[in-house]
Structure 1
Amino acid sequence: MRANTQKAQRFFRPKSPEPVSDLPVDLDPEISFQNDGKIFSKKRNEFYLADPNVIYSQQNNFFNHKLFEEKKKAKDIFSFGEIGFGLGLNFIIILKNWSKVLGATKRLHYFAIESFPLSKDNLKIAKQRFPDLANEYQELIDKYPPIHTGFHRIWLKSGAVALTLIFEPTWRGISQIEGTFDAWFLSQFSIESTPDQWSPNIFSEISRLSRKDTLICSSNTGAYVDGELKRIGYEVVGASGDPSPAKVKIGRSCKNAEITLIPPWFAPPPPIGPKSRIGILGGGVAGASIVRALHRRGLQAEIIDAHLFNESTSILPVALISPTLTEKANELSNFYDRSYRSVLASIEELGAEWLSRGVLKIKPKQMVARQIDSLIRRKNLWDGAAKEVTAAEIQSKTNINCSGHGLWFAEAGTLSPVEYLSKLMNGQQLIKNQKVAQIEFLNDEWILYSERKREISRLDVLIITAALGSNTFACTRHIPLIGLGGQLSLANPTSQSLALRATILGQSYITPACGNMHAVGSTHIRGNQIYDSIAFNPTKEGHWQNYKNLEPAIQTLLGKDDICNWKGYTGVRAATPDRLPCVGPVVDPEVFREDFARLRHGPQGRFPVAPKYQPNLFVSTGLGSRGFLTAELSSEILVSQMLGEPWPVERAVALSLSPSRFLYRELRSHK
């Protein structure tokens, strides 16, 4: 089959894939606060710029430039990038002068790459040094992530500002950003002390992330900066201010970016139009999380589901939030690491109540040691996120005697799914409690029909979050989903088991008693034989399996005489063959197979610039048994792609969730 040669094409030569780093990571700036007010980084061997008046003056020179004034009049949503975050002063002062800099109704995405980030305690000291900025510092401190590698998005000013902090070596961090930016702020450190922040590679990445008329602000006004700006297609349009620390050089990009690191088969579609009617088909945790992601941005969506989320019998009685650790770094481990931090931040921001806090994972001593060593080396979770515990420590944390070794996650725990979903929905009113049997795209609209062919809704944008139900519709039937069935047992507590105060996770897990029951589970049945969730009911055999998979000490607490009286919950989740969700825009599968047929011969050559997408169709499905862990981050990825915003995670992580990845693998496997 020949690729369609009538469509716009480009030659694509894949770069050697950058391996997910498994090397030791050092994030400590080795900072000291001196009596004269200066702040020194031993790692940088230089003082931070700690004079707010200089930053004020630099920003005045930049934001009052006529080119930025023109940009401000033409846009409602901005994206800024900064090389280095340091004390956060540049960002903090933008928050302080928000109405003046951008306008009270504007919105901002702010990205900052910092190799040696300050801790929350460091920021508290900085706040004391700058009393005029105390309110802005406190808002940042309240949301500031614990120090660990990766992308970390927090929301400030009631959702008007999304700050994405990237704690990575500068080039590694910026090279994984995907999006385009309106302005860049270069490092306040000197070229001599931070060559990593001024290298030609950094300027090349800034060019990739720019569009025509993107502006750049540099406090370094030397000839080197002139040369690099010229090389990447920027012109110097001003050097405002007197010859003082407040002087800045302003550059403007003369062209759109010519380089993309996204392969053509994954190139995203254009963003949806303004004032689009958005609908979400599916009201579970995936759909509710998207409602919240849209609400943050001042957008609403209609929810269509056969059941109210808080009335459905498919809702779990308890949701376990716990990290998934691996000893090696890859896209899967990065996604689950980012998801864990994202959902913890979401729970805290929403004020959702924990049913219990603390999770113990029973593991062999050698495995525990390897995983702790990996965490220390890679910094993929923060200090204290996981702790090795002995039998004696297990007793003190869980209040029961349990032999062996384990990993203790103090911030993990269990939630009430109904309460958490209610918080996510935030009083959402646009809910249609109807079952959708058919979907049709006609005259630029998605039309949803009932089983009797009665029209339910007309939408400009459709997001399908229907789990296994996604495969019942022709537009998403090509996505390979696997039924993942499980039985959760609801065990009656005993006088001994009531002492348990943390979740213990082995082959099965048990939660502390809540609502006069322990959750014990769960069984796993993977495959198409359990697609019929109606016929999948709790069984005595399932209870026995859950009981036998508990640690012996836990079995003793519960006893086995009462198993016949246990109640249970069964459910069928949608999983994928590679255990990662499908999140993003949906292609036309037949056109994709035709346009990218030459992938059978390898990923190098001439391909269409982008796939043909089904118009304004998106999906978030295949979350499996970890839906409550991964839905928050998945929703941010989907909504950012849908609106054309900079992505909230590394490009490689987002692309590993692409619904098109299975079509790509299908073509590559038929050589």
Structure 2
Amino acid sequence: MKTEPIQPARIAYTAEAQPPSAPAFGDIYHPAAGALAQARHVFLGGNDLPRRWRRRDRYTVFETGFGLGNNFLATWQAWRDDAERPQRLCFVSLEKHPPRRDDLARLHHRHEVPHLAAQLVAAWPPLTPNLHTLSFEGGRVTLLVGFGDITRLLPELSAEVDAFFLDGFAPAKNPDIWDCRVLKGLGRLAAPGATAATWSVARPVRDGLVEAGFRVERAPGFGSKREMTVARFEPRFQPPRLGAWQPAAGLERSAVIVGGGLAGCAAAHALALQGWQCSVLETHAHPAQETSGNPGGLFHGVVNPQDGAHARFNRTAALHAARAYAALRAGHDIAGQWDGLLRLESAPDGADAALAAMQATLDAQALPPEYVQAIAAADASRRSGLSLRLPAWYYPGGGWLRPSDLAKALLASAPGVTWRGGQRVAGLRHDADGWELLDADQQVLARAAVVVLANAHDAARLLRPTHWPISRVRGQTTSLPDTTPGLPHARLPVAGSGYLLPPHGGQVLCGATTQPGDDDASLREADHRYNLDQLARLCGAAPQVPLASLAGRVGWRCVSDDRLPVIGPVVDESALGAPRQRLDHARYVPRLPGLYLYTGLASRGITWALLGAEVLAAWISGAPCPVESDLRDAVDAARFVSRAVRRAS
């Protein structure tokens, strides 16, 4: 999907008792009779809520125009007030011109539900062109808000929607949001028996709903509007959903996760938030003992001029990580630093030319400074306390943390997760009841209908042959006492040709080597020298110390050939090659029932872990997917099969 720059809402403020307006559309955001009153009458009442959501495990609402968030706030408040509310409320909304946070704060400072409005303002994300997952009520209420044109974003959504809130400026003033193609697209998302409601009774709106498969009726309107539209999804034909994107079959919501590193702990955490019971099987006694046991690692976004899948996935993941880690830190001890990160840019044509190109990219994509800034070497030096010679990307929400602390926090904060350390899975066996996980003596360690292999490159051992090219890349870090003469001390993490973390616990960490196909587990003096040379290139100085005295750690990154994670149902090798079989797109590739992958986090595990796990959990549970469908295709475990087929043809 090609992204477009986000243009924030231009909001005109009027008298205290009058609703705000949008000059670009010549319309007001809500009637003078009240935003929440309209939401309760038109959207909640028109969809027969809260009655229809009672005793449900999950209830999903989709809104065509987020506006100022009043429909979401009214729905959230109704959920809180209902003793028979669903276990989870998912509210999905799109907005082409989202408000800036300061506008949202100004408009909601005297809100009817001030405690909820304040939480929404605090969680409001930078205005970047992607989906943003905002979590409330301990993960039981989720707002998945997408910024961009609905005609582009709607086809990219993966969700099963129970109720549609059709809102936006009047059809005559904002025709795009009421376009017949948009309304027809609602049918693709509609769950059986889904309902819809809108204040509009315009003929094109009603006809569009009918064409989408809805039975349309009129109902008493709100305020000055005599009538409104309500509808129920009753299509003549319901097209089957694509097999690869169907949730796991069966009513028993339990899974076994193989691997207790960052990927496995994040997967267990994400599934637990969807109401699943999870057991985590790990060879080691404690979590995060392999590469996730490194003393520190970075998290931040990526910017490139093309804004392709890699940059978009990293952006969504980095923004999500910053929000989620802030919440985790409130209840758990996680070593790290959270107030920004610098990534130096190469400058083959000089620093000035590099900085100009960086700024041109930001201007073209309209990426907000809350997400990323292009800064000169002098500014980067001031922020870091180092003498830097290159311009840098500054990520205000980036930082570093200790992965093992994060893994433990994810397990501790996830209800219904059982840790089973000291259990090495040597094999898998499938039968009609699901999967058996076997030890080296072919004894059954666990049985489950759903199994997630989150054990890095070791997953290939359990799945041979595989169609996904994964490399095992050795990396060695170097740790020095912070009192080492000549050792630069950074105020915030700095990355480039290598990386340098600020002093912590009396140590300074730098690194790291990148050595594919190298299985040597020993610390090597030559690699310490390489890391110190990288440090000198990074910040112009490195200490002269005896290499034999240096500490460090060796680990292996699990890297896919396209440098993106590997997520989703495992390819059914035995079903490939059937006559007239379509394999040119990952979603058509046959899969093994109940067996999933989450691996290939490479050197970006801290950035990717939570978003990737939530993509996986959505795949398994049927919850709305937190990324656009083309991004899910980009990380799908079956993408390597479909790419090979396309190349061959």
Q: Same fold (TM over 0.5)?
A: yes
List per-residue Cα deviations over 1:528-562 (Å, max 9, x = no partner).
x33x4xx3322111111122223447453x32233
CA distance in 2, matches of 1:53, 1:414: 45
User: Aligned to 2:320, which of 338, 342, 347?
Assistant: 342
Q: What's the Cα RMSD here?
A: 2.7
Residues 595, 647 of structure 1: CA spacing in aligned structure 2 closer, same or farther, 3 A cutoff?
farther
1:153-192 mapped onto 2 (5 Å cutoff): 153-192=133-172
User: Aligned to 1:322, which of 300, 313, 317?
Assistant: 300
Q: Provide the residue aligned with 1:537 in structure 2.
A: 522
2:451 maps to 1:458: no
User: Aligned to 1:281, which of 250, 253, 258?
Assistant: 258
Q: Provide the residue aligned with 1:204 in structure 2.
A: 184
Residues 310, 589 of structure 1: CA spacing in aligned structure 2 closer, same or farther, 3 A cutoff?
closer
User: Aligned to 2:274, which of 294, 297, 300?
Assistant: 297
1:4-19 mapped onto 2 (5 Å cutoff): 19=1
Q: Are 2:168 and 2:177, in contact at CA under 8 Å, matched by a contact in 1?
A: no
SS at match of 2:134: strand
User: Aligned to 2:99, which of 111, 118, 130?
Assistant: 118
CA distance in 2, matches of 1:288, 1:580: 19
CA distance in 2, matches of 1:330, 1:311: 31
Q: Provide the residue aligned with 1:561 in structure 2.
A: 545
CA distance in 1, matches of 2:338, 2:639: 38
Residues 75, 514 of structure 1: CA spacing in aligned structure 2 closer, same or farther, 3 A cutoff?
closer
Q: Are 2:126 and 2:370, in contact at CA under 8 Å, matched by a contact in 1?
A: no
SS at match of 2:142: strand
Q: Provide the residue aligned with 1:85 in structure 2.
A: 66
SS at match of 2:380: helix
User: Which letter maps to 1:507?
Assistant: S
User: Which letter maps to 2:431?
Assistant: L
Q: Provide the residue aligned with 1:374 in structure 2.
A: 361
Q: Flag structure 1 segments of 5+ consecutive residues without an equivalent.
A: 1-18
Residues 99, 256 of structure 1: CA spacing in aligned structure 2 closer, same or farther, 3 A cutoff?
farther
List per-residue Cα deviations over 1:99-158 (Å, max 9, x = no partner).
55683344221111101111221221122242x210110121222212211100111123
List per-residue Cα deviations over 1:338-360 (Å, max 9, x = no partner).
11111111111111453464322
Q: Are 2:570 and 2:597, in contact at CA under 8 Å, matched by a contact in 1?
A: yes
Greater than 6 Å deviation, 4+ residue runs = none
User: Aligned to 1:574, which of 558, 582, 593?
Assistant: 558
Question: With structure 1 as the length reference, what TM-score do the two structures score?
Answer: 0.88
Q: Provide the residue aligned with 2:603 in structure 1.
A: 625
SS at match of 2:576: helix
Q: Are 2:567 and 2:635, in contact at CA under 8 Å, matched by a contact in 1?
A: yes
Q: Are 2:425 and 2:438, in contact at CA under 8 Å, matched by a contact in 1?
A: yes
SS at match of 1:122: helix
Superposed displacement of residue 636, structure 1: 0.6
User: Which letter maps to 1:83?
Assistant: T
Q: Are 2:216 and 2:232, in contact at CA under 8 Å, matched by a contact in 1?
A: yes
Residues 98, 476 of structure 1: CA spacing in aligned structure 2 closer, same or farther, 3 A cutoff?
farther
Residues 411, 159 of structure 1: CA spacing in aligned structure 2 closer, same or farther, 3 A cutoff?
closer
Superposed displacement of residue 93, structure 1: 0.9
Q: Are 1:268 and 1:610, in contact at CA under 8 Å, matched by a contact in 2?
A: no
CA distance in 1, matches of 2:33, 2:143: 20
2:578 maps to 1:591: no
CA distance in 2, matches of 1:568, 1:216: 59
Q: Flag structure 2 segments of 5+ consecutive residues without an equivalent.
A: none
Q: Provide the residue aligned with 1:652 in structure 2.
A: 630
User: Aligned to 2:406, which of 420, 424, 430?
Assistant: 420
1:25-174 mapped onto 2 (5 Å cutoff): 25-36=5-16, 37-49=18-30, 51=32, 53=34, 55-57=36-38, 59-60=40-41, 63-64=44-45, 71-72=52-53, 75-99=56-80, 103-130=84-111, 132-174=112-154
User: Which letter maps to 1:175?
Assistant: P
Q: Are 1:372 and 1:386, in contact at CA under 8 Å, matched by a contact in 2?
A: no
Q: Are 2:481 and 2:508, in contact at CA under 8 Å, matched by a contact in 1?
A: yes
Q: Provide the residue aligned with 2:503 in structure 1.
A: 513
Superposed displacement of residue 162, structure 1: 1.1
CA distance in 1, matches of 2:24, 2:110: 21
CA distance in 1, matches of 2:296, 2:47: 56
User: Which letter maps to 1:326?
Assistant: N
Q: Are 1:355 and 1:514, in contact at CA under 8 Å, matched by a contact in 2?
A: no
Superposed displacement of residue 405, structure 1: 2.4
List per-residue Cα deviations over 1:392-413 (Å, max 9, x = no partner).
3233211122233222223321
Q: Provide the residue aligned with 1:6 in structure 2.
A: none
CA distance in 1, matches of 2:582, 2:154: 31
User: Aligned to 1:385, which of 344, 355, 371?
Assistant: 371
Q: Provide the residue aligned with 1:661 in structure 2.
A: 639
Superposed displacement of residue 68, structure 1: 5.8
Residues 270, 475 of structure 1: CA spacing in aligned structure 2 closer, same or farther, 3 A cutoff?
farther
CA distance in 1, matches of 2:318, 2:40: 36
Residues 393, 62 of structure 1: CA spacing in aligned structure 2 closer, same or farther, 3 A cutoff?
closer
Q: Provide the residue aligned with 1:432 in structure 2.
A: 420
Q: Are 2:180 and 2:205, in contact at CA under 8 Å, matched by a contact in 1?
A: no
Q: Are 1:80 and 1:182, in contact at CA under 8 Å, matched by a contact in 2?
A: yes
Higher relative CO (Cα under 8 Å, sequence separation at least 6) belongs to 1
2:343 maps to 1:361: yes
Q: Provide the residue aligned with 1:227 in structure 2.
A: 207
Q: Are 1:58 and 1:247, in contact at CA under 8 Å, matched by a contact in 2?
A: no
CA distance in 2, matches of 1:313, 1:667: 35
Q: Are 2:486 and 2:544, in contact at CA under 8 Å, matched by a contact in 1?
A: no
Stretch moving more, 490-499 or 638-647: 490-499
Residues 160, 642 of structure 1: CA spacing in aligned structure 2 closer, same or farther, 3 A cutoff?
same
Q: Provide the residue aligned with 2:216 in structure 1.
A: 236
Q: Are 1:214 and 1:252, in contact at CA under 8 Å, matched by a contact in 2?
A: yes
CA distance in 1, matches of 2:550, 2:256: 40
Q: Provide the residue aligned with 2:246 in structure 1.
A: 269
Residues 551, 246 of structure 1: CA spacing in aligned structure 2 closer, same or farther, 3 A cutoff?
farther
CA distance in 2, matches of 1:118, 1:56: 21
2:459 maps to 1:474: no
CA distance in 1, matches of 2:566, 2:498: 27
Superposed displacement of residue 320, structure 1: 1.0
How many residues are aligned here? 634
Residues 100, 56 of structure 1: CA spacing in aligned structure 2 closer, same or farther, 3 A cutoff?
farther
List per-residue Cα deviations over 1:478-508 (Å, max 9, x = no partner).
4321112111111333355364212222211
Q: Provide the residue aligned with 2:230 in structure 1.
A: 250
User: Which letter maps to 1:373?
Assistant: A
SS at match of 1:213: strand
CA distance in 2, matches of 1:52, 1:348: 38
List per-residue Cα deviations over 1:230-288 (Å, max 9, x = no partner).
2222221342347734742101121277568x8x6x73234342333311000111111
Q: Provide the residue aligned with 1:12 in structure 2.
A: none
Q: Are 1:54 and 1:245, in contact at CA under 8 Å, matched by a contact in 2?
A: no
CA distance in 1, matches of 2:33, 2:544: 67
Q: Are 1:595 and 1:611, in contact at CA under 8 Å, matched by a contact in 2?
A: no
CA distance in 2, matches of 1:399, 1:596: 63
Give percent identity, aligned residues only: 21
CA distance in 2, matches of 1:50, 1:170: 23
SS at match of 2:108: helix
Residues 68, 143 of structure 1: CA spacing in aligned structure 2 closer, same or farther, 3 A cutoff?
closer
User: Which letter maps to 1:481?
Assistant: I
User: Which letter maps to 1:372?
Assistant: Q
